Amino acid sequence: MKLTGSQIVLECLKAEGVDVMFGLPGGAILPFYQTLPEYPEIRHILVRHEQGAAMAADGYARSTGKVGVCIATSGPGATNLVTGIMTAHMDSVPIVAITGQVPRAMIGKDAFQESDVTGITLPITKHNYLVMDTRELPMVIKKAFHIARTGRPGPVLVDIPKDVQQEEVEFEGYPEEADLRTYSPVAEVDPAEVKKAARMIDQAKRPIIIAGRGVNISRAHGLLQELAEKAQIPVITTLLGIGSFPGRHLLSVGMPGMHGVAWATLAIDEADLLIGIGMRFDDRVTGDPNLFAHRAKKIHIDIDETEISKNVKVDLALVSDVNKVLGALNPLVKHNTHPEWVECIDRWRREHPSLAFRETEDLLPQFILKHLNEETQGDAIVVTGVGQHQMWAAQHFCFEKPNRFITSGGSGTMGYEVPASMGAQVGNPDTTVWAICGDGGFQMTMPEVLTMVENNIPVKLVIMNNGTHGMVRQWQELFYNKSYVATLFQTPDFVKLAEAFGCKGLRITEKDQVVPAFHQAMKHDGPVILDFVVRAVENVYPFIPPGGSRASMEEDPNVSVAMG
């Protein structure tokens, strides 16, 4: 049968099982939008800014494991997706971005709202396509979704000229397989290397695991727990690996790195074997790579060969899907115990209580997040922006399940929390979603609150209102002699703003108001903005300066620490 290019794209999306997409129309993508009413099974959520579309698709993908979809027009519409695409690329999130393009005859002529979006996004996508032949649309869409979700996931962009969307061609159905002969995303596990890894684990006296987002992506949580329990190996989880190992497990150590817990830093420094699983030895984790785990042999398990020894030289690499590797490795590892090592880490916890709560009259973000953690008991999805509130949330929330903590890691995208929480809520309608926001980041993407109201997306938004870009202010205090340039700002009345958007707003200024405010928010059937007026000057501890090591770790000077 003959269909237009727009109909073909929507038939393909339907065949892929796409049930929702986030977008904003414009001239070059209008044929696609005019076809949308023919496909009521695909929900479209109209965002206020294309950046919100990409980040909502990202939050949807991280929280569901499905491919997120976002739509934009050509030119500024397409370029407004770029920050969200980069965010997904840095954190290995599967999204497909579909953009309109000027008609084929106008490409390269500086036509109105023309941009070379495939050129612009080449470094921040797994792959991208400019479709110049309408008949190629089914295979291109098939390839886009296959590439986005397989191997190390990531974003794929499909740019479709306006006249390709309008042209009628014969549609022979959606391909069953993607024709990608040169694309082999998953290497086979090398049995000889797996045996070497098992021997190294058996011989270790002070082993440690660092689990990253790759464990969440590959759904290898059970296998990770099996390995840790069988060989009694303590487990550290990176910022994006939070939830890959139960937070309350006796072998759970916490988060490493720049703002990680002190005992995780000490454990890495003293370990004789470090097993990195689905993590990339990011600079925020390692600090000085020459001093990182310098006493330890290192095993790296990762699906992406380019990550091996890129930042930290390793002794043994197992390049494949984490699920495959652990499935082969676990039976070979012997049952073991390391009571002295586990007790050593527990002693460091007691000696370095840098996350302990001190009594203050002021309302502190840590106090708020501690109580929100107690109220939710891990039975919620928590989405954060980037900055101090992000680190405090990572430190003080405890997650027993994967994909419950969602945040921008590699790109550190401020404003991520509002649209990403919206996407997570759409993908998980029966789960409460809390967006932990900085007052600066919230203002970057706050128009998407109106999108939530319009679509009855009941996210609960917690704003840490301190009138400053807190993490930047902290760095200015520590490294720039307290020269607070361009970090203090005026905030709007967030309660009045909530009312203007048509949602519930509450202002909280006292500690005894915190828990009742959470209860009110949870009872309200719709989005809620909670404006927590917190102390402006408060630093995140522990803190290891960029390029630092254990020796340069700073702990909270207001908390008693017995240095070990």
Would you tell me how many other CB atoms lie within 10 Å of the CB of residue 18? Answer: 21
Q: Of the candidates 81, 168, 82, which has an alpha carbon nearest to the alpha carbon of residue 123?
A: 82
Q: What gap in Å lies between CA 375 and CA 369, rounded to an integer?
A: 10
- 22, 45 contact by CB (below 8 A): yes
Amino acid at 523: K
Nearest to 419 by CA among 16, 80, 158, 127: 80
Vertex 166: Cα angle to 165 and 170 (nearest 5) = 85
Tokens 């890129």 — which residue?
A: 310
DSSP label at 551?
Answer: G
Is 471 noted as a catalytic residue in this protein? yes
Distance (Å, whole) CA 425 – CA 427 = 5
Distance between CA atoms of 363 and 368, rounded to whole angstroms? 8
Helix (H, G, I), strand (E, B) or coil at 549: coil
Catalytic residue from among 11, 16, 50, 307:
50
Going by C-alpha positions, the residue among 130, 299, 310, 317 that lies closest to residue 227 is 299
Run of H or E residues at 210: strand 207-211
Helices 137-149 and 5-15, packing angle to 10 deg:
40
DSSP assignment letter at 278? S
Indicate if 388 belongs to the active site: no
**Among the residues of 104-151, which ranges form H helices?**
117-121, 137-149
d(C-alpha 511, C-alpha 533), whole Å: 10
Q: Is 270 a catalytic residue?
A: no
From the list 21, 200, 391, 471, the catalytic residue is 471
Residue (of 240, 201, 186, 245) closest to 220 by Cα position: 245
Q: Which residues pair with 4 in a beta bridge?
A: 168
State the Cα–Cα distance between residues 247 and 403, nearest whole angstrom.
13
Catalytic residue among 14, 106, 113, 136: 113
- The yes-or-no answer on residue 168 being catalytic is no
**Of the listed 38, 112, 313, 343, which one is catalytic?**
112
Write out 491-532 in H/E/C secondary structure: CCCHHHHHHHHCCEEEEECCHHHHHHHHHHHHHCCCCEEEEE
**Rounded (10°) CA dihedral 397, 400, 401, 406:** 10
Pairing outcome for strands 528-533 and 433-438? unpaired
CB environment 379-406: b (16+ within 10 A), e (fewer)? ebbbbbbbbbbbbbbbbbbbbeebbbbb
Dist. CA 13–CA 3, nearest whole Å: 14
The two three-digit tokens of residue 519, written as one number: 């209860």
Give the count of beta carbons closer than 10 Å to the beta carbon of residue 105: 10
Is residue 112 among the annotated active site residues?
yes
Which is catalytic among the residues 126, 143, 162, 460?
Answer: 162
Catalytic residue IDs? 50, 112-113, 162, 471
